[in-house]
Amino acid sequence: MVVIHCAYTEPINPSGSSPVLSRDQIWRGLQRKIRKAQDFVPVIEATDVLEEKENEVTRVAHFKAMNGHEAHAEKEVCKSYYPTKVDFWQPNGALITNTISDGPGLTENDYNMTYTFEWRYPDVKEGSEEHEKLMKQSVEGAKMAVHKSIDALRKMGAAGELD
């Protein structure tokens, strides 16, 4: 089995961005992402919420066919840790974490979004061509997911949907 770890970080409110999103707006956006992932991540086409309880949502995310992967659905348990992170646990042990972190200025202009991935591939051999290909795809996917999520947050913020 191969386990691929990767992470990508991007500033949420870079210089000149508008609107400048507050931590609470970003948090509300992450809570929306749990329930409507398709609004944030283009590879997800629909989200079905199965159960909600305090700080935890069980959902099914429906993924499009992409990069040689077939369309499929993943049941995920999403655990929220206000005001910093959401963990998305998949049944095979894979973990995706979305983290809002402070930068050096400790102001809302310094918020960062980091997505950390721990992907599990039971049928892939370590060091194989497939392993190398999956590592590259994972980092590219992480970058796309963070960037698209911040774009979605910004559009929602501008439309007043995060207030």
Q: Distance between CA 70 and CA 121 in Å, rounded?
A: 15
**15-45 residue pLDDT tens:** 999 999 999 999 999 999 999 999 998 889 9
Q: Tell me how many domains the chain contains.
A: 1
Tell whether 115 is covered by a domain.
yes
The predicted pLDDT at position 106 comes to 87
Q: Model's pTM, two decimal places?
A: 0.91
Residue 21 lies in a domain: yes
Measured between alpha carbons, how far is 143 from 121 in angstroms, rounded to an integer?
Answer: 20
Please check whether residue 163 lies inside any domain of the structure: no
Q: Which two tokens stand for residue 139?
A: 């980092």
- φ/ψ of 62, rounded to 5, equals -100, 115
Please tell me the predicted confidence (pLDDT) of residue 42.
84
91-109: pLDDT as tens digits: 999 999 999 999 998 888 8
How remote is the C-alpha of 95 from its chain's centroid?
10
pLDDT in tens, 74-97: 999 999 999 999 999 999 999 999
What pLDDT is recorded for position 41? Answer: 85
Q: φ and ψ at 21, to 5 degrees?
A: -90, 135
pLDDT over 90 percentage in the chain: 88
1 has pLDDT over 80: yes
Distance of CA 47 to the CA centre of its chain: 14
Residue 144: CATH number of its domain: 3.30.530.20
Give a yes or no: residue 55 inside a domain: yes
pLDDT digits over 124-147, tens only? 999 999 999 999 999 998 999 999
CA atoms within a 13 Å half-sphere pointing along the CA-CB vector of 116: 10
Helix (H) or strand (E) holding 147: helix 129-158
| DSSP letters spanning 115-134 | EEEEEEETT--TTSHHHHHH
Q: Which domain holds residue 108?
A: 2-158
Q: Are residues 60 and 75 in contact, defined by beta-carbon separation less than 8 angstroms?
A: yes
DSSP state of 39: G
